[in-house]
Amino acid sequence: MTTVQFVPLEHVLAIAGLLFAIGLFGLMLRRNIIFMLMALEVMLNSAALAFIAAGAYWGHPDGQVMFLFILAIAAAEVSVGLGLVLQMRRQIGSLNMNVASRLRG
Amino acid sequence: MMLVLFYIAAAVAVTSALLALTLSNATHALIFLIVSLLGMAVIFFLLGAPFAAALEVVIYAGAIMVLFVFVVMMLNLDPEAQAQEQSLLSFKYWWGPGLLSGILLAELLVALNTTHHAVGGDAVLPKTVALSLFGPYMLGVELASMLLLSGLVGAYHLGRDFLVRKGDPSS
């Protein structure tokens, strides 16, 4: 028997929501692009937690399938995002997003 | 029993995510983010998704976070960062992540000892996931592979100047 029968689904979803809120506030408060990417990772993880919890609650594999897709999206996003970080450091000389607010550097 | 383990793992994951997004030093924040992902993996394991837990450790906390650590290390190559490296081995820098991941390790040992019937019984096993992944979700798998390919091409294009040495005629 799985834990979800003991842990109420609402608590798992509350933790996922809390993590999403932490990631969202981190994204809005921090101006360093590396921290903003890390906040995105936290938010993607909270979505994955909600999928896994729902999949475990109904005993379906669909939650884990969605987790795999989230994993692929996170990998693609991070590789392109970190490439952009390197370019930003090279062309602007700073990792601060306020400096990079103009479209034409 | 598993209820307590779940809440401890959730507390560890939330605490370290909070620390990761509030610390000012990027390297320390990354270590806390990795601990948060490990806590999430323990939660997945307790929720009856052992395959997702393994992937979380191997791909998320392993591969994706190594990219972050690599870029952060690459961007701090100034001399004062070198001097800072000397002080990194002192106790105050690693006790936090060490304590939190020690909690997760203890929890995993307890879970493996006491609940291995419980987890194996009703858990969604990798075989079910694979049958679903390569059955009804086949189109999604193809789309994910296209996405990863475009991510690869994009990352190569953006990082090209760092991969090719200056003065190389092919650049």
ipTM of this complex: 0.88
Q: Do A61 and B3 touch (CB under 8 A)?
A: no
B144 touches chain A (CB under 8 A): yes
Residue by residue, what is the 3-state secondary structure of chain A?
A: CCHHHCCCHHHHHHHHHHHHHHHHHHHHHCCEHHHHHHHHHHHHHHHHHHHHHHHHHHCCCHHHHHHHHHHHHHHHHHHHHHHHHHHHHHHCCCCECCCCCCCCC
Q: What is the largest CA-CA distance in chain B?
A: 64
- B31-84 pLDDT tens trace: 899 999 999 999 998 888 888 999 999 999 889 988 888 888 887 655 665 566
Report the gap between the CA of B151 and the closest CA in chain A (Å).
Answer: 5
* Inter-residue contact B29 to A38 (CB < 8 Å): yes
d(CA A80, CA A61): 29
- Provide CB contacts within 8 A for A80, sequence distance 6+: B151, B154, B155, B158
φ, ψ dihedrals at B112, nearest 5°: -70, -35
d(CA B67, CA B73): 10
Question: Could you tell me the pTM of the whole model?
Answer: 0.84
Q: Do B68 and A34 touch (CB under 8 A)?
A: yes
- A43-74 pLDDT tens trace: 999 999 999 998 888 888 888 999 999 999 99
Nearest alpha-carbon partner for A52 in A24, A16, A18: A16
Report in angstroms the alpha-carbon separations of A26 from A99, A101, B25, B161. 19, 18, 14, 30
Q: Do A37 and B157 touch (CB under 8 A)?
A: no
